[in-house]
């Protein structure tokens, strides 16, 4: 019985506006966990998350139900709101 399997994995990197250091070490683990939750909420799988004060790296496995542009937009807007709180 023929079937199709799709495995989409992406290395996503985004930085803060003007490369400002918003991601201080005391909140980075919480931020990475929060971003992983966003990925899981979009039917994806966060394989790894890390970064330094002005940018974040992700290795993400995602479903084909969501466009990559939408996933990145959700990550950036939700994380920005979370940081500002």
Rounded Cα gap, residues 24 and 62, in angstroms: 27
Above 70 in pLDDT, residue 1? no
Q: Which CATH number fits domain 8-84: 3.40.50.150, 2.60.120.460, 3.30.70.1290, 3.40.50.740?
A: 3.30.70.1290
Q: Is the pLDDT of residue 4 over 90?
A: no
For the segment 30-69, what is each residue's pLDDT rounded down to a tens digit?
A: 989 999 999 999 989 999 998 888 888 989 998 888 888 9
Separation of alpha carbons 50 and 52, rounded Å: 7
What are residue 81's phi and psi, to 5 degrees? -60, -40
Residue 71 dihedral angles phi and psi, to the nearest 5°: -65, -45
Confidence of residue 20 (pLDDT cuts 50, 70, 90): confident
Structural domain boundaries in the chain: 8-84
Residue 16 has a pLDDT of 84
Q: What value does the CA radius of gyration of the chain take, rounded to a whole number of Å?
A: 14
H-helix or E-strand containing 7? none
């Amino acid at each position: 019985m023929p079937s199709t399997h799709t495995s989409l994995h992406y290395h996503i990197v985004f930085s803060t506006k003007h490369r400002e250091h918003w991601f201080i070490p005391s909140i980075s683990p919480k931020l990475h966990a929060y971003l992983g939750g966003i990925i899981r909420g979009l039917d994806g799988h966060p394989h790894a998350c890390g970064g330094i004060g002005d940018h974040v790296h992700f290795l993400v496995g995602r479903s084909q139900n969501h466009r990559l542009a939408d996933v990145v937009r959700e990550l950036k807007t939700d994380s920005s709101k979370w940081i500002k709180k």
